[in-house]
Each structure stands twice: as structure tokens, then as C-alpha cells.
Chain A
Amino acid sequence: MDELLRVENIFKTYPKKKEKVKALENVNFQVKKGELVGLLGPNGAGKTTMVKIICGLVAPDSGKVEVAGYNPWRERSRALRNLSAVLEGNRNIYWPLTVRENLNFFAALKGEKPSRVRGRIDDLITALNLEDKVNVTARSLSRGMQQKLALAVALVVDVPVLILDEPTLGLDVESALEIREMLKNVVREENKTVLLTTHDMRLVRAVCPRVIIINEGKIVTDDRVDNLLRLFEIKSYRLHLGSELTPQQVIEVQEVENTVISNGSGSGIFIDINLENMENLYRVLDILRKNNAPIESIERKEIDLEEVFLEIVGRRGLNGKPVSSERSV
């Protein structure tokens, strides 16, 4: 079977007082074996609902989900034998149990004899740098380690489909990097199918060749990251000026189309110029030359995934708030 995860025509509403709030509307996608797909969207877009429907924890109003060919509602046991998930970061584990006790327990919860997965448990402990903490209770671990343990718990039994909801939320850089490497490995070496929801665009850029962007319950994009970056690529340049502009200069620069002035974090200011029309750059340079404004540097700006994401979801920030209109590019 090529597609291990199939989502077809999913509709979901939640009751709110006497009304119904739309959570998902006609969501369709498939994830192939060995594919790692990022499911992105602002808060409240419907990502977690989608993930929980796949895991058989939230019932859809209509539509169909298949995990390794099994419906998590009608063939629950079979579907769940093919699926593991980390849903609440560091809250997926028993805090009074040690690292090893947690791993043994969750192996049994999936129907696996703990002694049969002992080797796998040891490998996971090593891969996630938890060797020193094997006999430490989960409660005593740092948040990063708890989250790594939650990931290990999801991986303790070798299932083909892995669902991860915000696996790096609140982690320090080092722990996030370890989880990133772990994800790359499970796809590369174990050929697992992974659906990952996150707000961490660096993680997406590093591990997801394909992303599905969901907004207000609908899929707005389903494409390869490279394609999206190419699609949204706009040539633009950033000028760094060593001193402030005069009020007159500001007015003149602002009159140039597709140009944005912003304050630098240190000294000086930045002018971002869109090169859809080269005339814009020449005009700005003329204004600066006329006033002898000191240009510290000129660099080409490249669009990143976060900007693509913001563009797609209608210039709304990751927390659902509108992004400033003075956004560069």
C-alpha cells in the first residue's frame, strides 16, 4: 500500500451553546509510506482536531480516515496497532514512573511484550541521550527530556504511522535539534509515515519536504516546500543605513511603491525594496544620494517559509493576530 494515511471529505463542527462552530470543512489529503508531512496553520485552524480524528479521539461529522488501510472508528484496534502519537508534548507519560518504566508500560499498552522491545528501548534511550536518566522518574526530568521521553514512548513499538502534535513546543535549541534528528532518522531508516503539526518553521524546513497548510478549517495549500518557496520568491533588496532619515526623506522614500522602512534593532534603519520594478531601487538610491545618506550595506533578501506561510494564511500571524502591514517583502 502506497498511501498509509488517507483523509477524505472530513467535515467537523463543534457545538457552542446553540450554534455550531465549523472546525474542519471538506479536508482531503494522503500521506505516502515513508513521507514526512508538516500540517501547518494558525491557532484554531483545525490542526489538532484533524490529528485527533486520525487518532480516533474525535469523531468527524462525516468523511473517512484510513490508517494503513484501517478506519480508526470501524476497525479501531487494527488502525491503532499501526499508529503512534505524541499529542500533548510532555504530558503523554506517567510522571511517577521512570524513563524505562514508562517505555515498558507503553510497549505493553500497544500489546507488545516489554522484553521483545528491550533492544529498541535501549536504542531509543541512546538516540535521545536519556542514558543517565533511565531510572529517573519522568516528574524529575526537565521539560525537554520529558518531551523526548514522550517521543520515545510513541516510537517504542515499531508502527508505520507516527502523528506528532507540536513535538518541539517549548524546547531549548539543543533538545529541539535532537528531536529534529530523531525525526529524520525514523523516516530515513525506518521508513515511517509521519504527520507533524508545528509552529516551528525551522523544524518544518529541516524535516518536511511537503506541507499542508490549513486555515479556518480548510486546506489552503498542499505542496512541496521547495515549490512554495519558488512560488513566493520575490526579488527584493534590503538597504541598511547608518543614520536616521530626515522627515522629508522618509516622505520621499515612502512615495516609492513596494518599499518599506523599518528601524534596525541597533543603530540605523532598513529600507526593503521590492524589485518587481527596478525603477523602485533607482528612485530610492537617487533620494539617498541627493541627501548623502550613508549606506552601510546592501543585501539580497530571500523569502523564508514563515513568510510564505503568512502570505498563504492571509497575512495572519501564527498566533492568529494580524501581521503588521510593514512586513518586508
Chain B
Amino acid sequence: MGNLFLLSAQFKREFVYLKRYFFNFIGGFITLYVVFLLVFLGYRGIAGGTEMYGSGLGNLIVGYVLWVFAMMIYQDISYNLFNEAREGILEQLYMSPFGYTRVTTFRLLAALFIHFGMALVILIAMMLSTGRFLNLDLISLFPLVVLLLIPIAGLGFILGGLQLIYKRIQSILQVVQFLLVGVVAAPLSLGWTQLLPGSVASHLVREVMVGEVFITNLPLNKIFLAIGIAGLYAFLGLFIFRLCERKAMQTGRLGQF
């Protein structure tokens, strides 16, 4: 039952934060929307009137919304850890009998609902603005989005772990969040790009949303590859995080900022 209380507490905390920082939230939403409009106008200027325009626009919308979603999840782990250390709360969280990994995973689950809502609103706004409506088959999309988010969360844990030891690596964190654009938009034809966290899953999401393919009609090998990549990055993320955690505890730097 304790797990439920903790999960419920994390949900309440996330919603209280949303309420207290509502204008910040709206500001973030508007910024992301305006950036998309600028990208869209640029794209229309370049590809407008060509045969590729329709499918290219669809891919642009999907890529953008997946990047926003991935970025929020990634930030939720890496930046929260930084903030918790800075605010002095990290050591309290480590003293939870549930362990920090579970505490932060539950927080991530709670945050997912808010991020999902925000990504959905941005998606709808983008579709309305561009007039390009995409296939929102939730049955197909849900498992694929999960397969996208798990490796991104793994990446967040890796960088979060490094932050426990090296502390001031915010510039790297910022660079990585922009590299996520490449991850969600990477062409799989290059081969090695399939090993990037979430690249196969984001390709499959595009197949569903732009190509209007139902999940059962997607290539099985790609689905298994996406599952494998998700498992690999989840394992790597937690493994490296634990190593860094141990190192931080040995050097007494866990709660330092």
C-alpha cells in the first residue's frame, strides 16, 4: 500500500506545482507553439507546392510533438535531480525506504500525465494551424509512445547519474535535449541510427500517425527492435545511475550542489 500512497503523493505534488506555476506552464506551451509555427512557416517556404509537402508536413508535426514529449521526460529526470540537489531535498528523498529510483520513477509517472496533456494540446494546435490532420489511433500509439519514452528516460538517468558526480554539467544537459531532435528524426536507413534511444519507436509512431498503419500491420522486426532498444537503454540508464550513485555516496557528494 505504501507504493500507492507514494504514487498518489507524487501526483498531488505535480498538480500542485502545475497550479502554482501555471503561468510558467502556459508560457512554456506558447513558446513551443510559436517555435513550431516558425519552423512550419520556414518549411512551407521551402517545400510549399511540392509533392512532398503533405507527408513532409505530417512528419514535421509528429517529429516536433515527439521531441517535445521526449524533452519533457528527459528534463524531468535530469533537471529535477539538479534542482533537488540545489534545494537540499535530494538527501531526504534518498532517505525514503522506497529508494530514490522508485521515488523518481513515480514522480515521472505523475509528470507523464501532465506532459501527455501538454503534448496533446500542442499536437491539436499544430494540426489546426497547419490544416494537416493526423491519425490519432490511441491503441496503436500508446505502446509505441511507451517504447519511445523508456529509452529517453534511460538517457535521463544516465545524465542524471553523471550529474550526481560531476554536478555542474547543465550545458551538456541542454545540448542533449537538442540532440533529441536528431534522435526522434533520425533516418533508420543509416543503420546505426536504429540504436539511438527511441529512434525506431519514433519511426513507428510516424508510420501510425502519418502512414495511418495499424500497429498489427507494422513490421514485427522493427517492433522487437524498439522493445530491445527500450530494454537496453532502461538497463543502461539504471545501471549507470546506480554506479554514479555509489560513487557519489563514496565521495560524499550526493547532496552537494
- Shortest distance in angstroms between A272's beta carbon and chain B's nearest beta carbon? 42
Select which of B12, B20, B252, B254 is within 8 A of A14 by beta carbon: B252
Contact present for A112 and B5 (CB under 8 Å): yes
Q: Mark A52-89, 1 if CB is under 8 A from B, else 0.
A: 10011111000000000000000011101101110110
- Shortest distance in angstroms between B90's beta carbon and chain A's nearest beta carbon? 9
A87-B249 contact, Cβ under 8 Å, with A97-B16, A114-B5: no
Contact present for A109 and B9 (CB under 8 Å): yes
- State in angstroms the CA–CA spacing of A93 and B249 once bound together: 21
- Shortest distance in angstroms between A46's beta carbon and chain B's nearest beta carbon? 11
For A153, what are the chain B residues with a Cβ–Cβ distance below 8 Å?
A: 92
For B8, what are the chain A residues with a Cβ–Cβ distance below 8 Å?
A: 108
Contact present for B249 and A109 (CB under 8 Å): no
A14-B251 contact, Cβ under 8 Å, with A101-B16, A109-B93: yes
- Shortest distance in angstroms between B42's beta carbon and chain A's nearest beta carbon? 38
Contact present for A49 and B252 (CB under 8 Å): yes
For B5, what are the chain A residues with a Cβ–Cβ distance below 8 Å?
A: 107-108, 111-114
Contact present for A97 and B88 (CB under 8 Å): no
Q: Counting CB contacts under 8 A, is A95 at the interface?
A: yes
Q: Counting CB contacts under 8 A, is B94 at the interface?
A: yes
Q: Counting CB contacts under 8 A, is A94 at the interface?
A: yes
Contact present for A91 and B97 (CB under 8 Å): no
User: Which of A49, A78, A94 has most B Cβ within 10 Å?
Assistant: A94
Contact present for B95 and A85 (CB under 8 Å): yes
For A111, what are the chain B residues with a Cβ–Cβ distance below 8 Å?
A: 2, 5-6, 96-98
- State in angstroms the CA–CA spacing of A55 and B255 once bound together: 12
Q: Counting CB contacts under 8 A, is B17 at the interface?
A: yes
Contact present for A87 and B251 (CB under 8 Å): no
Q: Counting CB contacts under 8 A, is B131 at the interface?
A: no
- State in angstroms the CA–CA spacing of A57 and B96 once bound together: 11
Q: Counting CB contacts under 8 A, is B250 at the interface?
A: yes
- State in angstroms the CA–CA spacing of A88 and B91 once bound together: 9
Q: Counting CB contacts under 8 A, is A236 at the interface?
A: no
Contact present for A55 and B91 (CB under 8 Å): yes
Select which of B12, B91, B98 is within 8 A of A105 by beta carbon: B12
Q: Counting CB contacts under 8 A, is B114 at the interface?
A: no
For A322, what are the chain B residues with a Cβ–Cβ distance below 8 Å?
A: none
A96-B95 contact, Cβ under 8 Å, with A15-B251, A91-B88: no
Q: Counting CB contacts under 8 A, is B89 at the interface?
A: yes
Q: Counting CB contacts under 8 A, is A237 at the interface?
A: no
Q: Counting CB contacts under 8 A, is B13 at the interface?
A: yes
Contact present for B17 and A96 (CB under 8 Å): yes
- Shortest distance in angstroms between B9's beta carbon and chain A's nearest beta carbon? 3
Contact present for B6 and A108 (CB under 8 Å): yes
Q: Counting CB contacts under 8 A, is B99 at the interface?
A: yes
- State in angstroms the CA–CA spacing of A153 and B192 once bound together: 50
A56-B98 contact, Cβ under 8 Å, with A14-B251, A49-B252, A111-B5: no
Question: Nearest chain-B residue to A87 (Cβ)?
Answer: B91
Q: Mark A123-153, 1 if CB is under 8 A from B, else 0.
A: 0000000000000010000000000000001
- Shortest distance in angstroms between B193's beta carbon and chain A's nearest beta carbon? 39
Question: Nearest chain-B residue to A49 (Cβ)?
Answer: B252
- State in angstroms the CA–CA spacing of A85 and B94 once bound together: 11
Select which of B12, B20, B98, B246 is within 8 A of A59 by beta carbon: B246
Contact present for A57 and B89 (CB under 8 Å): no
- Shortest distance in angstroms between A287's beta carbon and chain B's nearest beta carbon? 55
- Shortest distance in angstroms between A202's beta carbon and chain B's nearest beta carbon? 26
For A105, what are the chain B residues with a Cβ–Cβ distance below 8 Å?
A: 9, 12-13
Select which of A23, A52, A77, A97 is within 8 A of B97 by beta carbon: A77
A92-B88 contact, Cβ under 8 Å, with A97-B13, A108-B8: yes
For A88, what are the chain B residues with a Cβ–Cβ distance below 8 Å?
A: 88, 91, 255
For A104, what are the chain B residues with a Cβ–Cβ distance below 8 Å?
A: 9, 12
Contact present for B16 and A110 (CB under 8 Å): no
Q: Counting CB contacts under 8 A, is B212 at the interface?
A: no
Q: Counting CB contacts under 8 A, is A270 at the interface?
A: no
A58-B252 contact, Cβ under 8 Å, with A77-B97, A109-B93: yes
Question: Nearest chain-B residue to A101 (Cβ)?
Answer: B16
Contact present for A57 and B9 (CB under 8 Å): no
* Residues from 67 to 90 in B contacting A, C-beta threshold 8 Å: 87-89
Contact present for A92 and B9 (CB under 8 Å): no
A113-B252 contact, Cβ under 8 Å, with A92-B88, A96-B17, A108-B9: no
- Chain B residues engaging chain A, CB cutoff 8 angstroms: 1-2, 5-6, 8-9, 12-13, 16-17, 20-21, 87-89, 91-99, 103, 246, 249-252, 254-255
Q: Which 4 A-B pairs have the closest CB atoms?
A: A91-B88, A111-B2, A108-B9, A88-B88
10 A-B pairs in the complex with CB atoms less than 8 angstroms apart:
A49-B252, A77-B99, A80-B97, A83-B95, A87-B91, A109-B9, A109-B98, A111-B5, A111-B96, A137-B20
Contacts A57-B249, A96-B21, A112-B5 known; list 12 others, CB within 8 Å.
A14-B251, A52-B91, A52-B252, A56-B95, A57-B91, A57-B94, A59-B249, A92-B92, A96-B16, A107-B5, A109-B103, A110-B96
